[in-house]
Chain A
Amino acid sequence: MKKHYLPILFFLAIMPIFFIGLDRDKSVLPSPLIGKKIPEFSLPSLVNSELQIDSSELLNNTFLFNVWATWCVGCLEEHDFLMKLSESNEIPIVGLNWRDNHNDALAWLRDYGNPYTIIAEDVSGRVAIDWGVYGAPESFLVNSNGIIIHKHLGPLDDDIWERDFRAIINDAN
């Protein structure tokens, strides 16, 4: 009788899902901010506390928004790459110093170099929440209309830049 075939059909319908599911990389959490305008914020500059950085100033160019901190090992890993990137002048890098100690952060930049055109200091982490940041380092690619077009979790390097960023940057320009 036909109804007795239901269980095996149901089973065969579910199985492919498991096969495909085995291969997935679970760490990828899609960001809902892709395609949206950057969150508004106003934070002091790390380097000059008197200066206030407002998000509206950033809306004219394509740029890379990089979230970093001195307690973050991955940030140190990607630092050389960021230095190289800043020297190549391919794209300005805006830094967000996340939940960090002011003096430690300045010392870090002194010791390792400063690839950032400007750095906003987010001591409380409030702005990071608006960007959906949940770890460091995280990097956002923003186009000249102020729209976030790509997000990368983890340290950047040449391969990732070549593979994920370069093509999009060319499109954006």
Chain B
Amino acid sequence: MISGKETLGLLLMMRINKNNVFLVLFLCLIMNFTHAIDSGLVFSDPKLQQRYETLISEIRCLVCQNQSIKSSNVFLAVDLRNEVRIMISEGKSNKEIANFLADRYGEFVLYRPRFKTNTIFLWFSPFIFLMIGMFVVYKVVRKKIIT
């Protein structure tokens, strides 16, 4: 009934909304291997290849919103992977690539949140909580020793 290619087309013009979110997610999950992923190594330099693979795993596919563009195969993901490949070969830094994508698609597309006013607390939170925690332990233990 629905072939791989049609599923692809269907997916691309379905907006995820309340009514079809589960259908879209299901289609995304099963769509995984019905089209070629990168059919080979993209870079012959293993360091660049590693950097490429890490980067694409940190970018969200906006059609299959639960997958990175590394695992998704809708052509948006393919196009974006291509874009990342080109930018790496042009010598752009990871930060520049992240900025490029976020400028066009919004922060939502990056799995690694950028450092902005609304995420500063997020990035410092582990250390803040750790300090609070250690302070609490210190207070409790001190109290217990005295009694």
Contacts and interface: CB of A to CB of B under 8 A. Distances in A.
Contact of A136 (B12, B16, B80): B12
A30 B107 CA distance: 10
Q: Is the interface of B mostly helix, strand, loop or mixed?
A: helix
Contacts of A30: 106
Interface of A: 25-27, 29-33, 71-75, 99, 124-126, 128-132, 134-137, 153-154
Contacts of A131: 104
Interface in B49-68: 62-63
Q: Is the interface of A mostly helix, strand, loop or mixed?
A: loop
A152 to B, nearest CB: 11
Interface residues of B, number: 24
Given A71-B9, A137-B13, A129 B80 contact: yes
A123 to B, nearest CB: 11
Nearest to A3: B136
27 contacts: A25-B17, A25-B18, A26-B16, A26-B17, A27-B15, A27-B16, A27-B17, A29-B62, A29-B105, A32-B104, A32-B105, A32-B107, A71-B9, A71-B12, A125-B79, A129-B83, A129-B104, A130-B104, A131-B104, A132-B104, A132-B105, A132-B106, A134-B62, A134-B63, A134-B105, A135-B13, A154-B15
